[in-house]
Chain A
Amino acid sequence: DTVLTQSPALAVSPGERVTISCRASESVSTLMHWYQQKPGQQPTLLIYLASNLESGVPARFSGSGSGTDFTLTIDPVEADDTATYYCQQSWNDPPTFGGGTKLELK
């Protein structure tokens, strides 16, 4: 299975720019998606196909990358962005998720 590796946690101040990384154990082309999950809630789709903003998602969120290295950027970060962020690949079977990056605000 394709393993997706994310940093466990990040802490930033409101108004700053934050980048969350996701590294795949093998190429996933651009079939990488990003989700936000707040405590007690279901995940919500932020970015699909590495860099496409899902409808209704603020333009503060952006994604980039291809192959094995991907990045989710939030600029500027707001208090409401406190959540865990997951990457997910759909190039290789089975679909797999990263372990999640918990974003905390200082």
Chain B
Amino acid sequence: QVQLKETGPDLVQLTQTLSITCTVSGFSLTTYNVHWVRQPPGKGLEWMGAMWNGGGTDYNSAFKSRLSISRDTSKSQVFLKMNSLQTDDTAKYFCARHPDPEIDGELGFDYWGQGVMVTVSS
């Protein structure tokens, strides 16, 4: 059974660093890609970045050098770290599974975690 679960703080202070963990089960991080997507309250979805199954990463340039994605395959975890948080970073943060396009073709984000709501407070 495929599952993704995000864990992280409810509240982060202005200018501080956000750390969120996505723990997956039912599949291997060396076979599937994992992406991060966020959603401000009442707004749409924004792609943040990806951890590729081969260990590489890709980032939305909108986040410039604030964002870092890493993983621990032995623990089936993918990590998001973003620094210099501002109030407009208040959002629900999701991780989502993405089948490898080179193996399965492009299939979209087929499983999502429930998300973690993070509020940036001044």
Interface residues of A (CB under 8 A from B): 31, 33, 35, 41-45, 48-49, 54, 86, 88, 90, 93-100
Contacts and interface: CB of A to CB of B under 8 A. Distances in A.
Contacts of A45: 108-110
Contact of A43 (B45, B58, B107): B45
A94 B107 contact: no
Among B35, B45, B47, the most chain A Cβ lie within 10 Å of the Cβ of B45
Contacts, number: 56
Nearest to A98: B44
Given A94-B47, A94-B60, A97-B45, A88 B115 contact: no
B94 to A, nearest CB: 6
Given A42-B94, A42-B114, A99-B44, A94 B61 contact: yes
Contacts of A90: 106, 108
Contacts of B58: 93-94
Interface of A is mostly: loop
Given A42-B94, A42-B112, A94-B60, A49 B47 contact: no
Interface of B: 35, 37, 44-47, 58, 60-62, 94, 96, 105-110, 112-115
17 contacts: A31-B106, A35-B45, A42-B115, A43-B109, A43-B112, A44-B112, A45-B108, A45-B110, A48-B106, A48-B110, A86-B45, A88-B109, A95-B35, A97-B44, A98-B44, A100-B44, A100-B45
A54 B110 contact: yes
A96 B62 CA distance: 12
Nearest first, the 5 A-B pairs at minimum CB distance are: A33-B108, A42-B112, A48-B108, A97-B45, A95-B47
B44 A86 contact: yes
A43 B113 CA distance: 9
A72 B45 CA distance: 18
A21 B59 CA distance: 28
A48 B44 contact: no
